Structure 1
Amino acid sequence: MGLSVWHILLLLVVIILVFGTSKLKSLGKDLGGAVKDFKDSVRDEDEKQNLEKQRIIDVNHTVANKTSDHV
């Protein structure tokens, strides 16, 4: 007994009548911008972690090379 297509369409019509199309457009734009900013910040954090891992690998590699030269 869930929502049928007609219920959803009626709900959308009521929302458009209450808020207006310009308000919904600006709301959608703001929501899209927030999602984009969130994705960018997550991507930046992943890049920072990858750089840190690469630095650790480089340091370990350098230390291993120096110790093998002295042996």
Structure 2
Amino acid sequence: MMPGPFELIIILVIVLLLFGGKRLKNIGGDLGGAIKGFKKSMKESESDKIDNKDTVIDAKVIKEEETK
């Protein structure tokens, strides 16, 4: 059950009384910066993926002779 507009206003007033306007503004700015940094790192990790199928590595399997 979602709270109605009256309940949201009461919650907002309580939060403002507990934290104050300036501190709430700082928390909001920090949260926004964290979200922005997370999105930026997600974009960078997608561009870091190497999908180059032109590189072929040749390998030989060499059997060791058993010594008795």
Range class of TM-score, shorter chain: 0.7 to 0.9
Q: Which runs of 5+ in 2 are unaligned?
A: 57-68
Report the CA distance between 1:57 and its aligned residue.
2.6
Residues 1-16 of structure 1 mapped to structure 2, 5 A cutoff: 2-16=2-16
Bigger fraction of residues in helix: 1
Looking at structure 2, the residues matched to 2 and 59 of structure 1 have their Cα atoms a distance apart, in angstroms, of: 55
Structure 1's consecutive aligned runs of 4 or more residues displaced over 6 angstroms after TM superposition are none
Which whole-Å deviations, capped at 9, do the CAs of 1:36-67 have from their partners, x for residues lacking one? 11111111000001xx10xx23336xxxxxxx
Residues 1-71 of structure 1 mapped to structure 2, 5 A cutoff: 2-49=2-49, 52-53=50-51, 56-59=52-55
% same residue: 34
Residue identity matched to 1:33: G
Size of the alignment, in residue pairs?
A: 56
Q: Which runs of 5+ in 1 are unaligned?
A: 61-71
Partner of 1:59, secondary structure, is coil
Report the CA distance between 1:2 and its aligned residue.
4.4
Looking at structure 2, the residues matched to 37 and 17 of structure 1 have their Cα atoms a distance apart, in angstroms, of: 30
Larger radius of gyration: 2
